Amino acid sequence: MKKLLNVVLLICVAFTLIAADQPRGGFLVQSVDISQYPELVLRLSVWDANGVPLEALSADNFALETSTGEMLKPHTFNYSDTGMVNIALALDVSGSMAGQALNDAKAASYRLLDRLTSGDQAALIAFSENVSLYKNQLNPERELDFSDDLVKVYDTIEALEARGGTELYNAVYKAIELTSALPKGHRAVLLLSDGRNESTAFSDSEAAITLAKEEGIPVFVVGLGSAIDRDYLERLADETGGVARFTPRSSELAQTFDDMARLLKGQYLLSYELPDTITESEETLNFSLDLAGNPVVQEITLDELPVAAFEEQEEPEPVVEESVVEEPVEEQQVVENPVMANVLEAEDAQAMSDETINDDGLLQSIAWYWWALAALVLLGIIILIVRRSRKVDKKPVPHICMRCGRRLTEGELVCPDCGEKRTKAAK
């Protein structure tokens, strides 16, 4: 009986170890869109416990829960195998990859690139040793920035040669940093390595994980052979939201890379109608994927929701209503107070007196204006009369010739007797 119990116990332990050794299934939220609020659109990629993409799920496999516990169901649900993606390939080309391993790695990379479509971009970090940590310092023989010119990526991979040690940590960090320059969403790093980190220059194993988590960049890992740092590679994938696949033979790389490409290109599109119960500008949702009763849950935080702004605009309305109601009450209280009534009457009388004074002053100003104008007109008439009278009273002065003394008539300028032109007034 004890032997039977021991056998059963060993079987249970073996199954537990096998299950623990399997990669976790999960999903990657590629993008979160609230531009058409209150509609929420999620785009995500999903894989099973073996890291194989799942392409035939239904809406029942997904659940979305608000912070108040309200469960939401998608009102649209679609799947596409041509979703947009930007992939940074980090390929180990150290000396241990020489020969068939490098040839199979190249073929696998071509297969992944073949899956990319219009709008996708790819970058390349082929690493061994002497990896520069600066993303703007790229070795053109084995490092390329993101571009949709995939022909250049094909050609660069084709020319790769295996040699040198393995700067694993630095290469992963550089690939993540290069990817961080792209807009968030639809971006990932795919790492292939057959060894462990062999560099002492910088070589911070946590730096790449920290940066990937801060930037929201998932790292998908392919480990080749038995000399790998499996613990680090698994943690790199798990903590950044990616998935790790391991294979002992390089001949399996092509299928593994093809699965990774299908996983990233295959995207579920779900849209939800956010409820009116969300009244804050920030909301945390629990999004879960349920595969055979084993849910995987991820928090999704929505920032700067417009709902709070609308509520703030409605707040001043009660204040306006109160001021309208209070105005007649204040007027009634002032009239009923006799002291204030006398003061108001005195003020009104003074105001009326001031208005009367102002009106009289205006009338006086107008009268003075017309009197001055009449005086000017009269003065002008007198001046005209005086000038005219002077012209009438003025008599012509007679002239005589200065040679012969003949008296000249008015208008004669030359003496008719002697022809003299000189004249003078007669006395």
pLDDT digits (tens, 9 = 90+) for 295-341: 889 999 998 888 654 444 445 555 555 544 454 544 444 444 444 55
Mean pLDDT of 376-393: 75
pTM for the model stands at 0.67
Distances (CA, A) of 421 to 407, 409, 424: 13, 13, 10
Matching residue, tokens 């009534």: 341
CA distance 220 to 356: 92
Poorest-confidence range of 54-58, 108-112, 198-202, 283-287? 198-202
What is the percentage of the chain residues whose pLDDT exceeds 70? Answer: 76
H or E, element range at 237: helix 230-240
Which residues lie below 8 Å from residue 241, measured CB to CB, with a gap of 6+? 26, 28, 216, 218
**pLDDT for the residue 149:** 95
Write the pLDDT tens digit of every residue in 244-273.
999 999 999 999 999 999 999 999 999 999
Predicted confidence at residue 210, as pLDDT, reads 97
| 133-177 per-position pLDDT tens digit | 988 999 999 999 999 999 999 999 999 999 999 999 999 999 999
Gap between the Cα atoms of 239 and 205, Å rounded? 13
Task: Give the Cα-Cα-Cα angle 300, 289, 76 (nearest 5 degrees).
Answer: 80
Mean pLDDT across the stretch 369-396? 74
Angstrom distance (rounded) from CA 166 to CA 155: 23
Residue 141 has, within 13 A of its CA and on its CB side, a CA count of: 8
**What's the pLDDT band for 351 if we cut at 50, 70, 90?**
low
Whether 405 shows a pLDDT value over 50: the answer reads: yes
Rounded (10°) angle between helices 150-158 and 100-115: 170
